[in-house]
Amino acid sequence: MPDMTTNTPDRARVRLPGISSRAYEHPADRSALVAMRSLTGFDTVLKKLAGMFSERGIRLFFLGGSVRVSDRQFRHLNDMLRDSAYILDLPDVPELYVIQDPQPNAMAIGFDRPFIVVNTGLLDLLDDEEQRYVIGHEVGHILSGHAVYRTMALILTSLAERIAWLPLGSIALRGIIMALSEWMRKSELSADRAGLLAGQDVDAVKRALMKMAGGTRLHEMDTEAFLEQAREYDAAGDVRDGLLKFLNLLRRSHPFAVIRFAEIDRWAREGEYRRILEGEYPRRTDDGDTSVRDEAKNAANAYRDSWSRSTDPFVGVVRDVAEGAADAGERIFQRFNRRNDN
């Protein structure tokens, strides 16, 4: 069994000045966000929510009911936070709160000044380097601009529960909440990559994900067996199993741990992670020159690659339809550009 007890990386961490979130964002994250924004009324709802709910009110809730991390409270987390912000070159170090909750979880929320909240259940579960990955993961959410949409999802879900007795009101929100939930699951794949870049310890990320699935007894687990489990999950059964996997995810805010484990293992092995550490990554200063059309094509190509690797029968059923839609979308972009040129 591979050694899973190491607590420190085997070399100094590399700083990534000016790194753009495009360097680590999963194409599924970007494409899901584009699809979500295309929902009728989405931007209107976002603007209304931002005006209705005070970010300060949310912050005051945690200021009064949790512990704010500083150089005098949870100092080791404060050091990890500052280190992660330094490595990912986040301009402002966000606030971090620890809240008493046995459920292992963490989140980045807020509109204008996002902050991070970590549950005690997660701290109790993970060692120092695994915690570093989690802090970097949340810093990645903030760098990607995810926090505003995650806050929106929390508010809308709470609002939907309050007006559930109004059928029309509940139905009106359901589509946006489902779209937000789907995007949130995809955004976790991006943040996992950011967490790896911040901690630069692949084993720590894998350990953390295994613990989130099976608890602290790492001596009872094996990385290769866990990866085999991920492959089996991907290929499981027939079309009905694929549909069941989709339905199982509907109420979850995160993808299953085996999927995240397989994704980060592949990203680390295929070279992109190493190239970023060597300085080959897009810079924030070039974000304004990014082509929406190119991003759409990159996302479509990434989905094709993902589908070609997947042996899930359900994926096989929808593959031709989805690829046809992607090709149609590309033709629309080309036709639109020709009209603009004329």
Average pLDDT over residues 50-60: 74
Counting other chains too, the contacts that 120-125 makes at CB distance below 8 Å and 24 or more residues apart are 123/77, 123/98, 125/211, 125/212, 125/215, 125/216
Q: Is 138 a catalytic residue?
A: yes
Q: Which two tokens stand for residue 269?
A: 């092995």
Residues 235-244 pLDDT 10s: 766 656 666 7
How far apart CA 113 and CA 175 sit, in angstroms, is: 27
| Mean predicted lDDT score pLDDT of the chain | 79
Residue 8: predicted pLDDT: 45
Q: What is the residue type of 136?
A: G
Angle at CA 328, nearest 5°, toward 323 and 330?
95
44: confidence class by pLDDT, cuts 50, 70, 90:
low
Which of 58-72, 110-124, 208-222, 326-340 bottoms out in mean pLDDT, i.e. has the lowest? 326-340
Sheet holding 67-68, edge to edge: 67-68, 96-99, 115-119, 106-109
How many Cα atoms within 13 Å fall on the side-chain side of residue 202? Answer: 16
Going by the DSSP 8-state scheme, the letter that residue 317 receives in this structure is H
Helices 167-199, 147-162: crossing angle, 10 deg rounding: 150
Residues 8-28 pLDDT 10s: 454 689 999 999 999 999 987
Residues 256-298 pLDDT 10s: 999 999 999 999 999 999 999 999 999 999 887 655 555 556 6
> Rg for the chain (alpha carbons), in Å?
20
Per annotation, catalytic residue among 129, 138, 188, 263: 138
How far apart CA 3 and CA 20 sit, in angstroms, is: 33
